[in-house]
Structure 1
Amino acid sequence: MLTSTIDQAHYRSVMGHLPTGVVALSGITAGAEYPCGLVVGTFQSLSLDPPLVSFSVAHTSTSWPKVRAAGRLCASVLAAGQEPVCRTLSGKQPNKFADLDWSLSEAGSPRITGAHAFIDCDITHELDGGDHVIVIARVLQMDTGHGEPLVFHKGRLRSIRELTAA
């Protein structure tokens, strides 16, 4: 059996060189007072036929079980300038949406106003991924929004323009 000898700090440092999109996942559980949400940097296209996306969430997330319970979610690809939205949805406050500008998508999930793109999905599968759960979701509808995407690179939130100028 192969045992990992990779230092976690070094792993994070090396993997941090790969820019990732910043995506807000949000849902509304039946009977809830307000929406729930979290941010991931692992959102990706998985399949064209059927249209599927995937993302990963830490097993320690307290927000994911609330979004999962909704069964449906909206993935709002955050735009440059939406760093405050990212920080709010990454926090631990009970009502993360109290000070956010959002609306309901046609599929009934919270959509972050001003996002770069929107993807409404039904959650279909969860798979073990070490200290994360890998989630597969079927795309119901999608559209582009505004601006340039927000990216996470080398431990910092940046616009794509800042990344290419660096």
Structure 2
Amino acid sequence: MHTAIDQAHFRDVMGHLPTGVVALCGLTPTATHPHGLVVGTFQSLSLEPPLVTFSVAHTSTTWPKLRTARRVCASVLAAGQEDVCRALSSKQPNKFADIDWALSDLGTPRIAGAHAWIECDLTQELEGGDHVIVVARVVRMATGWGDPLIFHKGRLGGFGAPSMV
């Protein structure tokens, strides 16, 4: 028998698990600017082949656009990039208007100053409750500098730094 789990309690307990903050960015053939969103569920899945996974809420208005890019760059945000996180979490039409980014030679938007970049091809989507679980094949990756941006207990911050809202 399964006991019902209160959603607020579920969020509170899961909020104790610190997560990295990853900007998923891509260009669609007809777009005048990149599309992007932020996830806290990005992780490695397989070494052979090199696969990663992340999940996106079914309510996302950006994911239907971003998925058509077929290749995305996952920019692991660095401590101090809270403004990038807020911009990509917004509902404004051009989320990249105030973000420093550059197009990689593989054609994906990379966030300047990120802690790491992982360019990947979207390969599979699976249902996962109120989210879609995405599997992507890594085609290239590189590291940046500094500490990663972390989301913990509803706040953004870095290692040893005071958390910022």
Interval containing the TM-score (normalised by the shorter chain):
over 0.9
Q: What CA distance in whole angstroms lies between the structure 2 residues aligned with 1:141 and 1:90?
A: 25
Q: Quick check: 1:47 aligned with 2:40? A: no
Q: Give the equivalent residue in structure 2 for 1:120.
A: 119
Aligned length: 162
Q: Give the equivalent residue in structure 2 for 1:102.
A: 101
Q: What CA distance in whole angstroms lies between the structure 2 residues aligned with 1:64 and 1:10?
A: 27
State the secondary structure of the residue aligned to 1:12.
helix
Q: Give the equivalent residue in structure 2 for 1:26.
A: 25
**TM-superposed deviation, 1:107:** 1.4
Alignment of 1:25-104 (within 5 A): 25-104=24-103
For 1:26, the aligned partner's letter is C
Q: What CA distance in whole angstroms lies between the structure 2 residues aligned with 1:97 and 1:80?
A: 19
**TM-superposed deviation, 1:4:** 5.2
Q: Give the equivalent residue in structure 2 for 1:7.
A: 6
Cα gap change, 1:6 to 1:110, in 2 (>3 Å) = same
When structure 1 is superposed on structure 2, of 98-107 and 11-20 the one drifting more is 98-107
Q: What CA distance in whole angstroms lies between the structure 1 residues aligned with 2:103 and 2:109?
A: 5
Q: What CA distance in whole angstroms lies between the structure 2 residues aligned with 1:94 and 1:101?
A: 17
**Unaligned residue ranges in structure 1 (runs of 5+):** none
The one-character-per-residue Cα deviations of 1:47-90 (angstroms, maximum 9, x if unpaired) are: 00000000000000001111101001000000000000000000
When structure 1 is superposed on structure 2, of 153-162 and 107-116 the one drifting more is 153-162
Could you tell me the TM-score, scaled by structure 2's length? Answer: 0.96
Q: What CA distance in whole angstroms lies between the structure 2 residues aligned with 1:159 and 1:88?
A: 18
Q: What CA distance in whole angstroms lies between the structure 1 residues aligned with 2:159 and 2:124?
A: 31
Among the aligned pairs, what percent are the same residue?
71
**TM-superposed deviation, 1:3:** 5.4
For 2:111, the aligned partner's letter is I
Q: What CA distance in whole angstroms lies between the structure 1 residues aligned with 2:83 and 2:142?
A: 23
Q: Give the equivalent residue in structure 2 for 1:111.
A: 110
**Unaligned residue ranges in structure 2 (runs of 5+):** none
